[in-house]
């Protein structure tokens, strides 16, 4: 009887509870066991929407004005089928691109899943793009239609070849469409075209097939840690990979539903939403956690029921992690990787796994990660080098420096070309930024290497202050960093700015700051 029970437990798809068990027994082929249909008939919309109990809550939305909305799987299934039928009636065929430029809303999710039901390809766009941003994405993708809100529609370029449907008109348009739709896709069918949020140059297409749902299923269990009954919320934009796959798809696979914040971000309103919806698991970029912490209201005493938090996109500040540990009894768990090499490391949601402050997690199962020296030799634990993954019988650089410790935890020091080389010292900008953010006068900051004739480079900080900057503040901040780091790491140059250049998903555009600094120095020397 005991053996029968163990066998039954093992058959639960991705039902691992310990890191050691998953490390020894997990195989990527298991991901297909999560779904009702085999790869040759796989469809994201069916697996995320249509197969779930119709009365269960599918969507929980908190809006910046304080209002909230919920929708069931039945409502989402019917409306997304109506949208798929609309696309067919409009002549949108399998493989045709359809753009979506909306903030989180019922219309966004109806369109996203409706496009995938049709076998067309969703092209998520940031709704705050300007005319040229829209033109590039719509032309480059060959989108035949765009669903957009009334305000953002004013930013669409004129004379486009695409059809426009406004979200405020969608309800009436869908009213007469049928509420059922038969899908005809496979795991190899293209599903989503995402535009990468690069810091320079034109955005690049990232292509995802319906098979990507299998990867999302694994990370939803192993990283987000969603269990039956969990209520989940993700704050990331649905035009970004994190917002698409772990804001829409991942939680919907297992029937936990979508939770999102819509509108201009307000940490206090988000806290209200977390409480009202009794959210137990959330995912966000690091700055969201910092902003929540700074409200003084992000704690269980406010009625929050959070049992797990995850983050991605950048490293998280040590003082924020320490706050979470002290306040909630656990820290936020990381996932680490990039578009070029995929997920590299995660903090696993297993009972025997403990995330480590400052680390990005352990290598994803089946992935080998190491730090290499300039000769492409694997360095001993704890030594800093070029972080690399072993793929197809060779080491491939991740593009970051960092190290792997004796326990297998991976720590990234940031992009290799972001390291500041000053008087023979190698200085990681994130470490300096972490200390700067501890100063009460610093609202936001970024650190780069500024060319210096004597030192090669010197540390320069761009700071968004909380007060009117005066000369005494600059000296105070410099002494503050000296005391916490070292004499060679403090910012010898400080420039106060109103805001920092960031991508819509919150990543710092450090390269833009470098280019600004180089241009300024060039103009000064030739002035």
- Whether 243 and 237 have beta carbons less than 8 Å apart is answered as yes
* Cα separation, 407 vs 361, whole angstroms: 10
Cα-based distances in Å from 265 to 62, 168, 287: 11, 22, 11
pLDDT of residue 11: 62
Is the pLDDT at 108 greater than 70? The verdict is yes
Tell the burial category of 333 from Cβ atoms under 10 Å away from its Cβ (0-12, 13-18, 19+).
buried
Higher pLDDT, 462 or 343: 462
pLDDT band at 339 (very low <50, low <70, confident <90, very high): low
Q: For residue 7, what pLDDT band results from cuts at 50, 70 and 90?
A: very low
Bridging pattern class, strands 308-311 and 333-338: parallel
| pLDDT (0 to 100) of residue 132 | 85
- CB distance 485 to 431 below 8 Å: yes
Q: What is the pLDDT of residues 199-242, one digit of tens each?
A: 445 678 999 999 999 999 999 999 999 999 999 999 999 998 89
359-379 pLDDT, tens digit per residue, is: 999 999 989 999 999 899 999
pLDDT grade, residue 5 (50/70/90)?
Answer: very low
> Tokens representing 518?
């180089």
List, by residue range, all CATH 3.40.50.12780 domains of the chain. Answer: 35-264
**Rounded to whole angstroms, how far apart are CA atoms 253 and 249?**
6
Q: Dump strand ranges (E) for 17-155.
A: 57-63, 68-72, 97-101, 121-124, 145-148
CA distance 117 to 519: 49
CA torsion through residues 165, 167, 169, 171, sign: positive
Domain 35-264: CATH superfamily, name plus number: ANL, N-terminal domain (3.40.50.12780)
Q: What's the pLDDT tens digit per position in 273-320? A: 999 999 999 999 888 999 999 999 999 999 999 999 999 877 788 899
pLDDT at 197: 57
Please provide the average confidence, as pLDDT, over all residues in the chain. 90
Tell me which CATH homologous superfamily contains domain 429-525: ANL, C-terminal domain (3.30.300.30)
The answer, yes or no, to whether residue 83 has pLDDT greater than 70, is: yes
Chain region(s) in the chain for CATH 3.30.300.30: 429-525
Per residue in 391-415, pLDDT (tens digit) is 888 999 888 888 999 999 999 877 6
pLDDT tens digits, 483-492: 888 777 899 9
6 sits in the region (left: phi over 0; alpha: psi -120 to 50; else beta) called alpha
- How many CB atoms are closer than 10 A to CB 359? 22
What's the confidence (pLDDT) of residue 128? Answer: 86
Res 392: pLDDT: 85
């Amino acid at each position: 009887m005991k053996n029968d029970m163990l066998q039954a437990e093992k058959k639960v798809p991705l039902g691992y509870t310990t890191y050691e068990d998953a490390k020894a027994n997990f195989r990527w082929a298991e991901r297909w066991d999560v779904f009702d249909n085999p790869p040759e008939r796989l469809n994201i919309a069916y697996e995320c929407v249509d197969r779930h109990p119709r009365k269960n809550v599918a969507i929980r939305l908190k809006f910046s004005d304080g209002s909230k909305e919920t929708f069931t799987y039945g409502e989402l299934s019917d409306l997304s089928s109506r949208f798929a039928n609309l696309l067919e009636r409009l002549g949108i065929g399998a493989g045709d691109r359809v753009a979506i430029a909306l903030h989180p809303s019922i219309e966004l999710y109806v369109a996203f899943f409706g496009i995938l039901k049709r076998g067309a390809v969703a092209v998520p766009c940031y709704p705050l793009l300007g005319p040229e941003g829209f033109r590039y994405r719509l032309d480059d993708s060959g989108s035949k239609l765009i669903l957009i809100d009334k305000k953002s529609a004013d930013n669409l370029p004129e004379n486009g070849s695409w059809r426009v449907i406004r979200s405020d008109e969608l309800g009436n348009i869908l009213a007469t469409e049928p509420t059922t739709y038969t899908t005809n896709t496979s795991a190899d069918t293209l599903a989503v075209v995402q535009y990468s949020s690069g810091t320079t140059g034109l955005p690049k297409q990232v292509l995802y097939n319906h098979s990507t749902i299998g990867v999302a299923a694994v990370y939803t269990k192993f990283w987000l840690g969603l269990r039956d009954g969990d209520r989940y919320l993700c704050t990331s934009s649905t035009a970004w990979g994190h917002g698409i796959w772990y804001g829409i798809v991942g939680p919907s696979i297992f029937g936990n539903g979508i939770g999102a914040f819509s509108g201009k971000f307000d940490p206090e309103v988000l806290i209200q939403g977390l409480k009202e919806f009794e959210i137990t698991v959330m995912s966000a970029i690091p700055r969201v956690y910092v902003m929540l912490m700074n409200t003084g209201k992000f704690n269980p005493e406010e009625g929050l029921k959070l049992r797990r938090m995850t983050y991605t996109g950048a490293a998280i500040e040590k003082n924020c992690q320490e706050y979470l540990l002290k306040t909630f009894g656990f820290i936020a768990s990381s996932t680490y990787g990039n578009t070029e090499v995929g997920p590299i490391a995660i903090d696993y949601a297993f009972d025997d796994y403990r995330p480590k402050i400052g680390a990005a997690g352990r290598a994803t199962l089946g992935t080998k990660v190491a730090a290499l020296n300039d000769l492409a030799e694997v360095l001993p634990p704890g030594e800093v080098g070029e972080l690399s993954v072993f793929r197809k019988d060779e080491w491939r650089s991740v593009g970051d420096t960092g190290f792997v410790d004796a326990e297998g935890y991976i720590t990234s020091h940031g992009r290799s070309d972001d390291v500041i080389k000053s008087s023979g010292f190698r200085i990681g900008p994130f470490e300096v930024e972490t200390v700067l953010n501890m100063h009460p006068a610093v609202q936001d900051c970024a650190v780069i290497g500024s060319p210096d004739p004597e030192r090669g480079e010197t540390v320069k900080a761009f700071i968004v202050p909380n007060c009117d900057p005066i000369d005494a503040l600059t000296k105070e901040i410099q002494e503050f960093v000296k005391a916490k780091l070292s004499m060679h790491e403090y910012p010898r140059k400080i420039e106060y700015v109103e805001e920092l250049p960031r991508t819509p998903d919150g990543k710092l555009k450090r390269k833009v700051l470098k280019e600004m600094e180089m241009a300024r120095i060039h103009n000064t020397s030739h002035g």
